[in-house]
């Protein structure tokens, strides 16, 4: 899908749903300050992250075999408000809400306030993000205060951890720049989720009530649990299929990036094994009930499952056929893993590489 088409007022039915300008302003007001640090330390962290975002490109290309040959722009190193503003712009671009002038009586105000609160919460958790929808070659963001906060909590070597984080985000840049169709694929599926918005509230609530009565969440797959599972259950078949495609794409992208983070080896990140061990312990750590509720509402637990399942899939396939053969996965939509294949890598190998 072209950028012009994706930004048309229709944009798959999402137009006007969220006032992202309001979301940005609300998020900035609500976000918590970063960790206390001296000006010298803060500036040193920014400089090191900027340099690492360039140095990470070589190891990522070596491991992935995706030498895209494009320029290597520096990352934008931001604070929490900076990330919120960038994320809101990206979402407005992706959903087409930035092209809408008629927002109705209340416009996107209620959803804008909710989205702002969500961005504020996430702004203290995001280490980095690659946005394929802004800039000539996309935009790589690194959130310096969060990187500093986590490296302190994990008690890891700061320079190693900063490179490790950059490896993950640069892998996303290489994924998208080497496979230009990915951005359009994401847009098309986001648009498909927004379609079919003519269902009455009564019909939607009726389906939701039925699902709540029938749900047995304990043995459900990660994509069927919690709020995400309820969302899937109340969607039309075509919307659910589009959401599943996005979930599988996200699982692949995150798992592939996690694989690369570890595959670079100690010659690039000397303490990579210790960092991975500490980071996984942090992911698994119990949080208080309120934090767990918020994480569930925002889908963060599903996000953690994406990393684990995706990395297991990539590890298994690369271990079985090698990275060069694995890279067939980036050919087009038909070679992406299906829902059932994420936990059964051999079935993907049989379907795509046979």
Over 60: is that where the pLDDT of 100 sits? Answer: no
Rounded to the nearest angstrom, the gap between the alpha carbon of residue 3 and the centroid of all alpha carbons in its chain is: 20
**For residue 220, is it within any domain?**
no
Residue 25 burial (C-beta neighbours within 10 Å; 0-12, 13-18, 19+): middle
Over 80: is that where the pLDDT of 61 sits? Answer: yes
33-59 average pLDDT score: 95
pLDDT at res. 81: 97
Q: What is the mean pLDDT of the chain?
A: 80
pLDDT at res. 208: 44
**For residue 30, is it within any domain?**
yes
Domain that residue 270 falls in: 3-199+236-353
Over 50: is that where the pLDDT of 111 sits? Answer: yes
pTM of the full structure: 0.80
> In this predicted structure, which of 17-26, 109-118, 159-168, 303-312 has the lowest mean pLDDT?
303-312
| Per-residue pLDDT band at 288 (split at 50, 70, 90) | low
Q: Which tokens in the block code for residue 317?
A: 């396939």
226-240 average pLDDT score: 64
**For residue 296, is it within any domain?**
yes
What whole-number percentage of the chain has pLDDT above 90?
51
Contact 6, 187 (CB under 8 A): yes
233-257 average pLDDT score: 84
4's CB contacts (< 8 A; 6+ apart) are none
Rounded to the nearest angstrom, the gap between the alpha carbon of residue 89 and the centroid of all alpha carbons in its chain is: 15
120-146 average pLDDT score: 90
Residues belonging to the chain: 354
Distance CA(116)–CA(247), nearest Å, equals 23
Q: Measure Cα distances from 72 to 164, 312, 330 in Å.
A: 17, 29, 20
| Per-residue pLDDT band at 232 (split at 50, 70, 90) | low
Q: Measure Cα distances from 108 to 28, 111, 112, 162, 194 in Å.
A: 18, 6, 6, 37, 15
Q: What is the pLDDT of residues 298-350, one digit of tens each?
A: 455 555 567 788 999 999 999 999 999 999 999 999 999 998 999 999 999 99
Our count of domains for the chain comes to: 1
**For residue 225, is it within any domain?**
no
pLDDT at res. 241: 86
**For residue 228, is it within any domain?**
no
Strand partners, 140: 130
Distance CA(291)–CA(121), nearest Å, equals 10
End-to-end CA distance of the chain: 30
Nearest to 46 by CA among 206, 162, 174, 184: 162
**For residue 206, is it within any domain?**
no
Q: What is the pLDDT of residues 2-30, one digit of tens each?
A: 333 333 333 333 334 678 899 999 999 99
Over 60: is that where the pLDDT of 47 sits? Answer: yes
- Residue 230 vs residue 122, higher pLDDT: 122
Q: Which tokens in the block code for residue 30?
A: 């609500």
Pairing of β 128-131 and β 139-143 = antiparallel
207-231 average pLDDT score: 48
What whole-number percentage of the chain has pLDDT above 70?
73
Judged by DSSP in three states, 77 sits in: strand
pLDDT at res. 91: 85
**For residue 211, is it within any domain?**
no
Distance CA(186)–CA(3), nearest Å, equals 12
Over 80: is that where the pLDDT of 198 sits? Answer: no
């Amino acid at each position: 899908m072209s950028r012009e088409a994706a930004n048309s007022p229709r944009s798959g039915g999402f137009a006007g749903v969220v006032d992202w300008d309001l979301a940005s302003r609300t998020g900035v007001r609500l976000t918590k300050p970063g960790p206390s640090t001296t000006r010298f330390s803060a500036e040193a962290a920014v400089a090191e992250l900027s340099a690492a975002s360039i140095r990470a490109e070589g190891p990522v290309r070596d491991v992935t075999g995706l030498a895209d040959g494009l320029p290597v722009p520096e990352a934008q190193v931001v604070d929490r408000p900076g990330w919120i503003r960038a994320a809101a712009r990206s979402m407005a671009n992706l959903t087409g809400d930035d092209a809408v002038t008629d927002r109705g009586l209340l416009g996107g105000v209620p959803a804008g306030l909710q989205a702002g609160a969500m961005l504020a919460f996430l702004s203290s958790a995001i280490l980095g993000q690659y946005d394929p929808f802004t800039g000539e070659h996309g935009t790589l963001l690194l959130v310096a205060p969060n990187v500093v906060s986590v490296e302190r909590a994990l008690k890891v070597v700061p320079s190693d951890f900063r490179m490790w984080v950059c490896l993950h985000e640069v892998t996303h840049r290489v994924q998208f720049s080497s496979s230009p169709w990915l951005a359009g694929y994401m847009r098309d599926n986001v648009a498909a989720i927004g379609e079919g918005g003519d269902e009455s509230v009564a019909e939607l609530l009726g389906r939701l009530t039925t699902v709540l009565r029938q749900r047995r969440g304990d043995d459900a797959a990660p994509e069927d649990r919690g709020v995400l599972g309820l969302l899937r259950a109340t969607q039309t078949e075509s919307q659910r299929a589009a959401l599943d495609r996005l979930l599988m794409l996200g699982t692949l992208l995150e798992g592939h990036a996690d694989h690369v983070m570890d595959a670079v080896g100690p010659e690039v990140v000397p303490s990579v094994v210790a960092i991975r061990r500490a980071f996984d312990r942090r992911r698994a750590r119990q949080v208080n009930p309120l934090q767990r509720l918020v994480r569930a509402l925002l889908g963060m637990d599903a996000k953690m499952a994406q990393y684990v399942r995706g990395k297991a899939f990539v590890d298994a396939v690369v271990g079985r056929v090698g990275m060069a053969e694995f890279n067939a996965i980036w050919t087009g939509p038909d070679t992406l893993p299906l829902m059932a294949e994420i936990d059964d890598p051999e079935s993907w190998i049989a379907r795509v590489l046979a």
